[in-house]
Amino acid sequence: MMASDKTYDSFPPLENALSEPNGLLAAGGDLSPRRLLEAYRKGIFPWFNKDEPILWWSPDPRMVLFPSELKISRSLRKTLKKDHYRIHTDRSFDQVMHACASPRKEQTGTWIHPEMIAAYVDLHEMGLAHSIETWVDGSLVGGLYGVSLGKVFFGESMFSSVTDASKLAFVHLVQQLQAWGFGLIDCQVKSDHLASLGAREISRMEFSQRLDLLISSLEPSKKWDFGRTRIE
């Protein structure tokens, strides 16, 4: 396990991750941009409760979406073609994170606590973390945020305050990433919500190999401003 002192320690090999709980690889360290970027480049992400040690995960299998495999239901396609909403990027990154941090139904807490928000705001200011937002009548009603490295987008969390708001943001994101030549969207762990949109599981080894091919730079590649993409 990673030490949590002031010296910088790299992550253990991915094969050291536990099978139970699935993917737990290391504990400790910090949420500095340097460590977070190393983690994402290796297929590792942080998830931990407030006031507990930072835990680092690399589950096997890994839930991913290949942009070309996006599935849009008939009902969602009808909603996408309406004009009642607007999609914006990076207009209110902090607000998206705080909305994602709100406890879901039957939950009493959140893993997106102030320490996590501050860390991802740092990445956002570096041009590496982004929010994709659904707005209706001037109000933020849904969206998601994540980290973009090379040709990979690492999705972190999403929220909706009205029906399908996060799906609207997600579909626009996927179609734009496909147009930009992105090869992979990381969805971390299996969920029925993401599976309905075309995400599927691959092995940790395959995921790691794809990252090696798709991440050639840790620098922001372009300004994230794609407005409202056309839905075919």
Q: Where are the domains of the chain?
A: 14-59, 63-214
Give the containing element (helix H, strand E) for 72. Answer: none
pLDDT of residue 3: 45
What architecture is domain 14-59? 2-Layer Sandwich (3.30)
- Rounded to 10 deg, the angle between the 33-42 and 204-214 helix axes is 120
Q: Pairing relation of β-strands 184-188 and 152-160?
A: parallel
Per-residue pLDDT reduced to its tens digit, 118-166:
999 999 999 999 999 999 999 999 999 999 999 999 999 999 999 999 9
Give the containing element (helix H, strand E) for 10. Answer: none
How far apart are the C-alpha atoms of 151 and 222, rounded to whole Å?
A: 11
The overall average pLDDT reported for the chain is 90
How far apart are the C-alpha atoms of 35 and 31, rounded to whole Å?
A: 6
pLDDT of residue 221: 57
Region 45-54 average pLDDT:
92
Region 55-61 average pLDDT:
98
Region 100-107 average pLDDT:
72
At the top level of CATH, the class of 63-214 is alpha beta
Q: How confident is the model at residue 4 (pLDDT cuts 50, 70, 90)?
A: very low
pLDDT of residue 206: 98
Region 32-59 average pLDDT:
95
pLDDT of residue 50: 85
Contact predicate 103/111, CB 8 Å? no
82 three-state secondary structure: coil
Q: Residue 231 pLDDT more than 60?
A: no
Per-residue pLDDT reduced to its tens digit, 169-220:
999 999 999 999 999 999 999 999 999 999 999 999 999 999 999 997 666 6
Best CA proximity match to 100, nearest among 79, 80, 71, 121: 121
Region 29-53 average pLDDT:
94
